[in-house]
Every structure is written in structure tokens, then in C-alpha cells.
Structure 1
Amino acid sequence: MIINKQEFLVNGLLYTIRSAVKEDAKHLSDVRLQVDGETEHMDRVPGEAFIDEAGFEKIIEMDTVHLRNICLVAEVAGQIVGYSRCAGNDLQRFIHKVEFGVGVLKQYWGFGIGKNLLKASISWADANGITKIILSGVLETNESAIRLYKSLGFEVEGILKKDRILSDGKYYSTYMMARYTD
């Protein structure tokens, strides 16, 4: 689906959040790969589950027409610096929910980009009758993300113990979190 473009000025940084368009595909591929290398909070190491330009073109096309999908980008001075996606399911028993994912280039942390991508997704979900947004695999050590999610109405649904191995060779648990509306 498509949302109206929104502009934000946070800590002196002007940025826009908007729906992704086909022309964003190459930049999304590059940004996703860079984000994967800048933090261990993501599911992937750089290059794993790589999505190339053609792959992102298909995702954007599908998300533009699918009633329970949305792909958003955050843009600073014409450059994509972050993205988010909500992906739903066509099975009737799961039609009420979507799974949310987000990534922001490390250089742009602290400007509310992830928060505003999530808030835009929540508004879209609420306006479209989606009553549950799921966050899977929130790393237990990602305290700032957990605080943010809780501040926006998400709660921990469960813990997946020893769910991820990080570069230090240790196992870490992740949280399954969700936000519900009636």
C-alpha cells in the first residue's frame, strides 16, 4: 500500500518518510547490505539473504498493491538512509496481523528515524484494520529498541532462548514482541 509523504525535523536533521517506489530498489539493496554490516541487531551478516535490485523491485511492486503489506523508506537530501516493511499473510486465520522490520544506517541513529518509520507503520495498520503488529527476533541486548517498542505499545510475548550466535561466539536470546489493538 501507499502512504502520504511525511517530513520530520529532528535534532537538526530534515528527513522524509514515504512509500518505496520502484526507482528505490537499487538504493534499498545497498542500504540493507550496509545496515547488516553496521550492527549485530539484524538477523543477517552482510551478504546473507542478499536482495538485489530486481528482488527489491518485486517486493516494492507487491507491497504497493497488497492490502496488508507496506514498504517505507526514510530519505535525507534525496538519499535513502533507512527502511521498514510490514508484511502480512493472505491466510484468513492470520489476516489480522503483520510482521514489522526496520533498518537505519548507523550514521542516522538518534534522529527518530526508526521510531517515525514504526509510527507511520502503526498508523497505516490502524487505518487498515490490522490489529496486531509483530516484531520477531528483538535481540535481548538491544535495550534502546526494546524501550522504543514498549513506549509505542508493544509487549513481550515470549523469549526465544539462545536464539542467535553473535560475533563473540556467544548465544543470545531474542524477544517476540507485539502490539495489539481491539
Structure 2
Amino acid sequence: MKIEKQEYCIKGLKYTIRSAEESDAAALAKLRVLMDGETENMDREAGEGLLSEDDFKQLIKGDSEGENNLFLIALVNDSPIGFSRCEGSTLKRLAHKVIFGVCVQKKYWGHQIGKNLLSRSISWADTNGIKKVELCVLESNRRGIILYMDQGFKVEGVLRNDKLLSDGKYYDTIIMGRLSSLK
């Protein structure tokens, strides 16, 4: 599915959030590699689970055509600096919910880009009959957890010792969910 683009100016940074287009695929593939190496909040380490330009084209095409999928991109000067996805299911028992994921290039943290990607996704979900948005967040990602709680997410479970990070320690993954406020 697609949404209308929206412009933002937060703390002096002008950026746009819009639906991803197939022409964004090459830049998204490069951006994802860069972001995987910037933080341990992602599931992957740098160089793991690479997605090619063609992989991104397929994701974007499927998400644009799907009723319960949404692929958003944040851009500064027409260059991608972050993105988010809501991935739904075609199975009837799961079609009422989507799984949300987001990533923003580290040098752009603090400009509410992740918050705005999340807000646009929640708004889209609420107006399109999605009853629940789920996500997973690493226990050490305090900023993310606070953001999600501020947006109405609640802790639904904990996967103990779920991720092994570079410090050699295991960390929990927190499962969070938000139920639609619309009836």
C-alpha cells in the first residue's frame, strides 16, 4: 500500500517521508549495509543477510501492491537516510496485524525520523483496519523502548538471552504490541 508524502523540519533538518518506490532500491541496498554496521540494535551484523537491489525492488513492489504491507522511506535531499516496513499476512487468522521494523542512519538520530516513520505507520494501520502492530526491540535499546511506549505499545513478552552481541553477552528481546484505538 502507499501513503502521501509528508515534509518535516525537526531541529533544523528537512526531510521527507513517503512510500518507497522501485527506483529507491539501489540506494536502499547500500543504506541497509551501512546501518547494519552502525548499531547492534539490528538483527544483523555488518555484511550479513544482504539484500540486493533486485531484492529491494521485489519487496517494494509487493508492499506497494499488498493491502496490509507498507514500506516507507525517509529522505534528506532526495537521499534515503532511513526506512520502515509493516509486513502483514494473507492468512486469515493473522491478517488483522502487521509486524513493524524501522532503521535510521545514526547520524540522523535525534530528529524524530524514527518517531515519524512509526507515527505514519500507526496512522496507516489504524485507518486501514489493522487491529494490531507488533515489533521486537533489544532490551538495551532504551530510546526505542521509550518511543514505542509513548506511542501506545505495551510489553507482551520477553525472549531471554535472544541475541549475542559483540561484548560476548546475551541480551533479551522484548516483544511489544499496540492495539488499534479505532473500533
* TM-score, with length taken from structure 1: 0.98
Aligned to 1:178: 177
CA shift for structure 1 position 80? 0.4
Show structure 1 runs of 5+ residues with no match. none
Runs of 4+ displaced beyond 6 Å: none
Partners of 1:179 and 1:33 in 2: how far apart? Answer: 29
Identity of aligned residues (%): 52
SS of the equivalent of 2:28 reads helix
Aligned to 1:158: 157
Aligned to 2:8: 8
1:48-76 deviation per Cα after TM superposition (whole angstroms, max 9, x unaligned): 11100000000000000000001000000
Partners of 1:58 and 1:148 in 2: how far apart? Answer: 30
Partners of 2:37 and 2:98 in 1: how far apart? Answer: 26
Matched AA of 2:149 = K
Aligned to 2:119: 119
Aligned to 2:141: 142
Partners of 1:14 and 1:23 in 2: how far apart? Answer: 21
Q: For residues 39-118 of structure 1, what are the structure 2 equivalents within 5 Å?
A: 39-118=39-118
Show structure 2 runs of 5+ residues with no match. none
Residues 1:129 and 2:129 aligned together? yes
1:133-176 deviation per Cα after TM superposition (whole angstroms, max 9, x unaligned): 0002x111111100000000000000110000000110001100
Partners of 1:160 and 1:35 in 2: how far apart? Answer: 24
Partners of 1:49 and 1:100 in 2: how far apart? Answer: 18
Partners of 2:90 and 2:37 in 1: how far apart? Answer: 32
Q: CA-atom RMSD, angstroms?
A: 0.6
SS of the equivalent of 1:94 reads coil
SS of the equivalent of 1:92 reads coil
CA shift for structure 1 position 78? 1.0
Partners of 2:55 and 2:179 in 1: how far apart? Answer: 31
Matched AA of 1:162 = N
Matched AA of 2:107 = Q
